[in-house]
Structure 1
């Protein structure tokens, strides 16, 4: 549509061209009317491409185009006739699932940036949207609700949608969306009166804190707020995470709930979850099993991923043998613009080795002053990945003592602010696209005419130029081009994890470098040498 195209031009510039995965998506997911042909049934696609290749654009354009075209054509909200059910405040036509709240917010913001002309309503379930004052004459249950809304659960807020505004797209994590569908507290254990009394007796004499102070809180459950009967599109972003053994149950439970709401229940049992590991990268050409019991969902399903680990490949072979797999030719390779460097531990203080390499990065930047630069100082920002939260905190404290201001972020960090991505300010890509929403439009492709517009202090002692984190921020997030270095300071658990971490730099044609630390010489160097060999096989040719 011209309206979507004009917004896309605002975000990417006038001379942008599609990446391979975007070209494949436009070819197979769109037709002249921008709709999926009802006569051919619901579609299932896998979009697999290397990090930084613009997969968000690849699925957002077809989904948003189809939703708006259906609205203009007066197409029925569903190809089926879902059974009547209780009315809900939210009844979206599309859901986008993401593994983290940070990615959910970024995707919602980017989707909004494409809809300033073509009006569709996008709601992020990972954003605060509550009243700032308490309700009068609140009951105890209402007070608990207000407490939840203000403090959040798992880093999030209860979402209260204003009436009168239909929602077309909802973005969030599978667990957050399940809470909206079933009501918060749906997965809490239901206790009998005897069990409840026994638990209260057990707590006698024990200090209570937080929610434990609320008598009867464990039995409380909020009413559902979202219906699923109108859902025609479901996108599972970072499918290699959301379908791995740790998250698959929640993801599949939500997909089963959607199917049931649309009048076409599918068989689902938590005991049927596959448990295969995902340490290896399987061949791209996999043959579906002829005896597979295919899952036929009553909606269009799009999976996206930068890797196809064995767990995902096995799941798709067993459950989606007919899914069309669209893959980039450079899948399972590092971007061509990303260089790899190996640093040997000196045998002394490893934290000091990391500090020295950071200062070397900035010394190189200073020597290149006037040749390259980002913002007002030209100093690179460095993204450091550790395997454990304790290592994140330890390294953050050490660098702070050495005069290097940093953001040390793990899933439990105090700096992980509630309901927004402001804890990532200065590190995520920000586009200057004119009048945009308060969080800014976040695009996946770079354009020579656009640059990171975040103004930062030139002094790393006063403004964070280093972010230290775990795999929490390794999936999907589009970081600023000023992050030209990614440090891998712990041995990667597997090459899939390495690909995602390294791929936070060198995105969308930008130059970058991944620095891998390890013992490269002498006794105990076998593991580091093995990592180097495996990483070498991922270099794009």
Structure 2
């Protein structure tokens, strides 16, 4: 399972609080923000200046950080769960120590934080602990529920007090499973909204009271199929922004306006409308939400995905009685070039709930957005942000000719040949994760390797294996809390069990892969170094050893791209 917080390492380094007004040429000027970073400075690497916001790596002072998951501030039961999950000798990673230092104080106003740390460093622990701690404390401080509060709660099937947003269903399920593992002692309820894909036709209409009685959670933390029974209140709901919008607004909410326009046009023309289907009633209320976590914020606030994320945040604010200004194009125009009104573009956004953003990379688009619209947001950054793990090796493999698939096959067999002579592997093969840029390449490479006797799992966004509402299509590759390898029989040998997974960047975000995944192959050049860091970061997690193999043209005409990538990868190690 997800153990981003697993650590038995060194004492965390001290952080710094600063008011930083420095900006790159693409950043807004004249705006101050609070930045909290560890004391070890990361040198500005010129090859990466246009890829990442490097200002978070500056340091100008020191202050002590927690060196253990001590209680206080953690509730006793929560601390016990953490040590059960991570080991009794576990100590906080730098980002977890920063969270313990800054996110546990009791202050009246709502807070906004960015947790920025390298992949595999324990960001999920860093945001789950303060959220669970405060949710449980506020629950214990509330009076016993009365019949009137219970009646009010049943107006929606689900009325969470916290939302955790993730970019994929796979990550949503893994996060919810790990979150449930931390709650055995303090008894908060976590549900995951990422279920199996279903048809977009409206379901049968249920009353809100029936919905409240029928929702339950499966063993893996996902919302189960309706059944008779009494539902307990939901504390934390995990899912993708689109799925949570669907629950809050009703299925097919984004199509209702267009279909209403078509129906009106049909009525005016005298023809019969075939698009008069009505969206079902919403299943979720947002008025109780006090925490919103945006995991993998660099992708959920990317210009291609930010509309659904910010629409949901605006819906929560409105449900809590404090609407915020919202325009869909805030990330698409910089303050210097925008023609939108100054009031709309430059007004800070203050949500009436605790907002925590987490990321392993801070691209310029996210940095600019935060500077303009969240100028008081506190940035907590680890000393190794935008750096590769020290336990990861990098190698480059040149194409030998026209058959690139054959080159990949040869490298796979080389990896396994090296495994066979290692005494610590006991004859086992390490698992290999291969990233391609396009789904068609994933499928063709998977078919080629199958034909060469290499069983593999080829996954794209449209793969049928993703439609079952669970993560079993990733069994054997993900670190999980409940996965148990199937006992090997005479019909299932090491040669027949898949040890290779091929996918796109879809699975490069946040997922905690098993330590058995010791090699990451990058078969296609990533779009940028943000993608490279996330792909490479699926191995060498939490101090484990790993290797990333980058394929490309290394000599002659056309090798300039590979040369430039080598330069940038080298900068990630400085």
Q: What's the TM-score once normalised by structure 2's chain length? A: 0.75
How far residue 275 of structure 1 moved from its aligned partner, in angstroms, is 5.0
Out of 135, 142, 167, which is 2:204 matched to? 142
Q: State the partner residue of 2:296.
A: 238
How far residue 492 of structure 1 moved from its aligned partner, in angstroms, is 1.1
Q: State the partner residue of 2:94.
A: 20
C-alpha contact (below 8 Å) 1:98/1:173 kept by paired residues: yes
How far residue 227 of structure 1 moved from its aligned partner, in angstroms, is 0.6
Mapping of residues 15-414 of structure 1, within 5 Å: 15-31=89-105, 36-38=106-108, 41-74=109-142, 87-127=155-195, 142=204, 160=226, 163-188=230-255, 189-191=258-260, 192-193=262-263, 195=265, 216=274, 219-275=277-333, 292-368=346-422, 370-372=423-425, 377-414=427-464
Residue 91 to residue 29, structure 1, CA distance change in 2 (3 Å):
same
How far residue 87 of structure 1 moved from its aligned partner, in angstroms, is 2.0
Q: Name the SS for the 1:507 alignment partner.
A: coil
Q: Distance in 1 between the 2:191 and 2:361 partners?
A: 28
Moved more, 527-536 or 318-327: 527-536
How far residue 372 of structure 1 moved from its aligned partner, in angstroms, is 3.5
How far residue 259 of structure 1 moved from its aligned partner, in angstroms, is 0.5
Deviation string for 1:363-401 (max 9, x for gaps)? 000010x3245xxx5210000000000000000000000
How far residue 460 of structure 1 moved from its aligned partner, in angstroms, is 4.9
How far residue 453 of structure 1 moved from its aligned partner, in angstroms, is 6.4
How far residue 461 of structure 1 moved from its aligned partner, in angstroms, is 3.6
C-alpha contact (below 8 Å) 1:127/1:419 kept by paired residues: yes
C-alpha contact (below 8 Å) 2:399/2:551 kept by paired residues: yes
Q: Name the SS for the 1:88 alignment partner.
A: coil
Specify every segment of 5 or more residues in structure 2 that has no aligned partner in the other structure, as ranges. 1-74, 146-151, 208-214, 216-221, 335-344
C-alpha contact (below 8 Å) 1:380/1:483 kept by paired residues: yes
Q: Distance in 1 between the 2:564 and 2:243 partners?
A: 39
Residue 484 to residue 140, structure 1, CA distance change in 2 (3 Å):
closer
Q: Distance in 2 between the 1:495 and 1:387 partners?
A: 14
Q: Name the SS for the 1:505 alignment partner.
A: coil
How far residue 217 of structure 1 moved from its aligned partner, in angstroms, is 6.5
Q: Distance in 2 between the 1:429 and 1:140 partners?
A: 36
Out of 511, 514, 519, which is 1:477 matched to? 511
Q: Distance in 2 between the 1:50 and 1:127 partners?
A: 29
C-alpha contact (below 8 Å) 2:247/2:282 kept by paired residues: yes
Q: Distance in 1 between the 2:143 and 2:300 partners?
A: 31
Out of 528, 531, 540, which is 1:497 matched to? 531
Q: State the partner residue of 2:477.
A: 427
How far residue 128 of structure 1 moved from its aligned partner, in angstroms, is 5.4
Q: What's the TM-score once normalised by structure 1's chain length? A: 0.80
How far residue 430 of structure 1 moved from its aligned partner, in angstroms, is 2.8
Q: Distance in 1 between the 2:166 and 2:245 partners?
A: 13
Q: Name the SS for the 1:384 alignment partner.
A: strand
How far residue 5 of structure 1 moved from its aligned partner, in angstroms, is 1.6
Q: Distance in 1 between the 2:486 and 2:474 partners?
A: 12
C-alpha contact (below 8 Å) 2:202/2:280 kept by paired residues: no
Moved more, 120-129 or 58-67: 120-129
Q: Distance in 2 between the 1:227 and 1:311 partners?
A: 31
C-alpha contact (below 8 Å) 2:513/2:538 kept by paired residues: yes
Q: Distance in 2 between the 1:76 and 1:14 partners?
A: 35
Deviation string for 1:293-330 (max 9, x for gaps)? 21110000000000000110011011100000000000
Q: State the partner residue of 2:77.
A: 3
Residue 517 to residue 328, structure 1, CA distance change in 2 (3 Å):
same
Specify every segment of 5 or more residues in structure 1 that has no aligned partner in the other structure, as ranges. 78-83, 131-138, 150-155, 203-214, 277-290, 432-438, 441-451
How far residue 122 of structure 1 moved from its aligned partner, in angstroms, is 0.4
C-alpha contact (below 8 Å) 1:292/1:321 kept by paired residues: no
Residue 85 to residue 61, structure 1, CA distance change in 2 (3 Å):
closer
How far residue 362 of structure 1 moved from its aligned partner, in angstroms, is 0.3
Residue 359 to residue 327, structure 1, CA distance change in 2 (3 Å):
same
Residue 11 to residue 526, structure 1, CA distance change in 2 (3 Å):
same
C-alpha contact (below 8 Å) 1:129/1:159 kept by paired residues: no
Q: State the partner residue of 1:488.
A: 522
C-alpha contact (below 8 Å) 2:197/2:468 kept by paired residues: no
Q: Distance in 1 between the 2:269 and 2:396 partners?
A: 55
C-alpha contact (below 8 Å) 2:459/2:503 kept by paired residues: yes
Q: Distance in 1 between the 2:571 and 2:487 partners?
A: 38
Q: Name the SS for the 1:358 alignment partner.
A: helix
Residue 489 to residue 75, structure 1, CA distance change in 2 (3 Å):
farther
C-alpha contact (below 8 Å) 1:489/1:517 kept by paired residues: yes
Deviation string for 1:223-248 (max 9, x for gaps)? 10111111110000000000010111
C-alpha contact (below 8 Å) 1:51/1:503 kept by paired residues: yes
State the aligned residue count.
Answer: 463
